[in-house]
Structure 1
Amino acid sequence: MAIDTNPGEKVISPAKLAHVVLRTNNLQPMVDFYQTFLGAKIQYANDFLAFLTYDDEHHRIAIAQLPGLGAKVPQSCGLEHIAFTFNTLSDLLTAYRQRKAHGMLPQWCVNHGPTTSIYYLDPDGNRIETQVDAFGTSEEANAFMASKEFSENPLGVDFDPEELIGRVERGEDEKVLLKRVEIGPRGLESIPI
C-alpha cells in the first residue's frame, strides 16, 4: 500500500459514515429510546457508555453519560439532526406506526422534495430524521435540488402521516405519493424548534 506524496487539492472522501456519539446526562432513557427507535441491539453497555447497532456495523450509535453536563439548549449551535433512510415509503410509514405504538410521536412530517421525512426528538431533545428518497437516482435528486422549485422552497411541504398511510393502503402509486406538492416560498419560521 502506498501513500500518495502529492495529495492534490481534494481530500479523499470517507467510504461511509460509521457512527454518531451522543453525550447525555440521561443514559438509560436514551439507550432505551434508541434501542426501541432503531430496532437496535446493545453491543456493549456499562454504567456510563452504550454502543448500539441495527445492521452489520459494530455500532451506529454510542451514548456516553459524562459528568457535569447540563440540559440541551435548543437555541445553541451544534448538530441539527441525524438522518436514517428507509428503502420504501411503506417501510417509513410502518416504522412511524410502530414508534407511535411505543408512544414516540413525530415532531415534524415534511416532504422536502428529495426525501419524504418524519422527524422525532429523543429524550435529550436531539432531532432525528427518518426518511425515504423520492428519486430513483442521485442524479434525479440533484437535478431537483438545482431546480427553481427547490430554490423557492428548500424546506418542503408538511404532511399528515395518517393521511399518507390511508393513501398507501388505497393503493396509490408510491412514486406519486413521494412527489412533492408545490406551495411556493417557505421560510425558516415554519421549522419547529
Structure 2
Amino acid sequence: MAQIDAGMLQKSATWAESGRSPPQWCDAIPACRLRHDASGSEKPYRAATRGGSTSDNKEETMNDIKQIEERPILHHVTLKTTRMEEMLAWYRAVVGCVPNFRFEGGAWTTNDTANHRVALLQTPAIRNDPDKLHHAGMHHMAFEFATLDGLLANYARLAEAGILPHACLDHGLTTSFYYEDPDGNSVELQCDNFGNWNLSSEWMRTSQEFVRNPIGEECDPPKMIAARKAGMSVAELHQRTRAGEFRPAVPGDLHLPV
C-alpha cells in the first residue's frame, strides 16, 4: 500500500505554520488521497462527481436515469472534529453511542449491533473556520447495500449516467464508494464485507490488520465488476482487493486533510 511521503507532509503549509509533525497514523493514508499538494494547491481528482452531467437541464437529465432497483439503507454519519472527547461524551449521553474502536486519529461509535453509527475523525490540520474542507463538521453520510453485487450494480447504473465516485476503498469491514453531492458533501455507498454486523464489529474490535490500516485499500469498481463476471467469488475478490490487486488507474480523493 502506498504511503504518504513524509517529506511532502513536513513541507506542507499546514504543518509548516503549526511547527508540528503529522501524527504517525497519517502514514496509513496513501498520498493519492491528500486533497492538496505541498504547495497548497488543489490536486486533480475524479471528474463528474457533482451531479455527473454537463447538461443545461440537469433536472431532466437526472429524471432520465434508470429507476433504482435496490434502495440502500442509511448506515452511519462521520464527522470531522477538533473536540474529540467532548463529542464522544455528547454522543454517548444523547444517543447512547459508545466506541467500537478508537485510535489516535478517530473513533467509531455505535448504539446498536452495527459496527458503527457515528464516527469521529481528528487531525491537527482540522480547525474551526469557514474552510469547508478543513472545518469541524460532517465528513460523509452512508447508505448500505445488502451485498457487494448490489453495490456494484448501483455503481454501474450511476456510471452510465456519468455519476462517478471520488474515492473507492475496501476498509476491511466494508467496501465503500464515496460520491459528492451538488453541495460538495460526500455520500458513501457501502456493503458489509462480512454480511453480518456482529462479525464485522468483532473484526473491527480485534483485527490487528485494522489497527495497522484503519483507512483502507483503494479499489476500482470496473475491475471488480469484470472479476465478478469472470466468476471470481466475493470472498476472493475481497481478499485480493485488500492485497492491492484492484487499485484504480486514477487515484481517488478521500476529502480528508492531514
Normalising by structure 1, report the TM-score. Answer: 0.58
Corresponding letter in the other structure for 1:168: R
Would you say the 8 A contact 2:147–2:195 is kept in 1? no
Would you say the 8 A contact 1:33–1:122 is kept in 2? no
The one of the two structures with greater contact order (alpha-carbon pairs below 8 A, sep at least 6) is 2
Q: Distance in 1 between matches of 2:151 and 2:174?
A: 11
Q: Distance in 2 between matches of 1:37 and 1:125?
A: 23
Measured at CA, do residues 115 and 38 of structure 1 come closer, stay the same or move farther in structure 2, by a change above 3 Å? farther
Tell me by how many angstroms 1:126 deviates.
Answer: 0.3
Q: 1:162 — aligned with what?
A: 222
Measured at CA, do residues 136 and 103 of structure 1 come closer, stay the same or move farther in structure 2, by a change above 3 Å? closer
Q: 1:22 — aligned with what?
A: none
Q: 1:173 — aligned with what?
A: 233
Corresponding letter in the other structure for 2:242: V
Would you say the 8 A contact 2:140–2:185 is kept in 1? yes
Q: 1:128 — aligned with what?
A: 187
What aligned pairs does 1:8-19 form with structure 2 within 5 A after superposition? none
Q: Which has the higher helix share?
A: 2
Q: Which has the larger radius of gyration?
A: 1
Q: For residue 136 of structure 1, give the secondary structure of its aligned residue in structure 2.
A: coil
Q: 2:76 — aligned with what?
A: none
Q: 1:117 — aligned with what?
A: 176
Corresponding letter in the other structure for 1:158: E
Q: Distance in 2 between matches of 1:37 and 1:175?
A: 29
1:192 and 2:247 aligned: no
Would you say the 8 A contact 1:108–1:192 is kept in 2? yes
Unaligned runs of 5+ in 2: 1-56, 74-129, 245-251
Corresponding letter in the other structure for 1:163: K
Measured at CA, do residues 77 and 33 of structure 1 come closer, stay the same or move farther in structure 2, by a change above 3 Å? farther
Number of aligned residue pairs: give it: 132
Would you say the 8 A contact 1:82–1:127 is kept in 2? yes
Measured at CA, do residues 168 and 96 of structure 1 come closer, stay the same or move farther in structure 2, by a change above 3 Å? same
Unaligned runs of 5+ in 1: 1-27, 41-53, 57-70, 184-189
Would you say the 8 A contact 2:166–2:178 is kept in 1? yes
Which of 180, 193, 196 is the aligned partner of 1:137?
A: 196
Larger deviation: 170-179 or 85-94?
Answer: 170-179
Q: 1:153 — aligned with what?
A: 213
Q: Name the Cα RMSD after superposition.
A: 3.4
Q: Deviations over 1:21-67 (max 9, x none)?
A: xxxxxxx979x979x69949xxxxxxxxxxxxx589xxxxxxxxxxx
